[in-house]
Amino acid sequence: MPVSPEKAMQTACAEARKWLGATSPNPAVGAVALDSHGEILAVTAHTRAGELHAEAMLIAKAHSEGFLDKIHTLCVTLEPCNHQGRTPPCVDAIIRSGIKRVVIGTRDPNPHIKGGGIEKLQQVGIEVVCGVNEEECKQLIHAFAYSVKTGKPWITVKRAFNTNGTMIPPPGQKVFTSKESLRLAHRIRKKCDAIITGSSTVLADSPLFTVRHTPDYLEKRRWLAILDRRGRVPESFATAAKLRHIDTVFYRDVNEAIKDLAVKGVQDILVEAGPALSQAILDAGLWEMAVTIYQGEPDRVEATFNPRTKLPFDIKQFRWEWWLPEEF
């Protein structure tokens, strides 16, 4: 059944969200191939840095399966790259493929690389339509866009409060929110590159910091930054965390942690800490997004954004379903 470019772009975004958090430091990107009647021929996404980009993967799939000559329109969530990185420029693959039209969700926000993907396609006579479902595509790559523009990681502070207004679980428990809230929290964790916590949280709860309640990426490793000025956390905690695909680093303060994680290539940080450290980060303005879960029937979730942050998307159009890895 024929679909509109908007519907095809929604499909491309949904495919990309399956890998949101798996592709860092690259953005999550999805692509859809349409024939001349608007029928979907194939759907692909970038799955990991160093692997083929979504467009190149789609073209390779079409070539191997024998339907490359049937592709009329390529819909892709992000402007095809026009530079040599770990993989060749996607625009060259598109030009060689014979595709007639390229529909793009949003331009590449990276100011540090050679752009011109759209212009190069137009120069060889390929029709280009840009800005289709642009806000959804922008929100899909929010952490990547913020990081490449500012040189700083996107930082989310996540907190949960029970009905007594405290973040402390009842004795013998580690959580008090609903299953739905837990899934949301773990989907936020799933897309992050690093977690910041405090030594008090580690010593009190010995948290795993793994992704549960939703499937995680098998080969994904995350950094765990523990603020531990007094050296209270035993090295055995870091050794055990490493077996869970978590690489632990100890820091004296949060500014040092953020700076070093940025050097390590981290684009998306999640703060999961106790009340004092979480509030200190909020008070210092060292955050872009705050997610607060209030226990109830049902739980209430609030997402707020730092008013001093220049966001890479329209805050008025924020939608959770555009923001998190798809659930499967």
State the pairing for strand pair 268-271/246-251.
unpaired
What does the H/E/C string look like for 27-67? CCCEEEEECCCCCEEEEEECCCCCCCCHHHHHHHHHHHHCC
Distance, in Å, from the CA atom of 97 to the CA atom of 260, rounded to the nearest integer, reads 42
Annotated active-site residue in 15, 55, 136, 272: 55
CA atoms within 13 A on the CB side of 161: 13
Q: Is the peptide bond preceding residue 25 cis, with omega within 30 degrees of 0?
A: yes
Active site residue 297: no
Residues 6+ apart with CB under 8 A from 56: 87, 88, 90, 93
Residues 6+ apart with CB under 8 A from 97: 59, 62, 68, 71
Cα 73 from chain centre: 26
Distance, in Å, from the CA atom of 76 to the CA atom of 105, rounded to the nearest integer, reads 6
Secondary structure of residue 8 in the 3-state scheme: helix
Q: 6: which DSSP letter?
A: H
Q: Catalytic residues, which ones?
A: 55
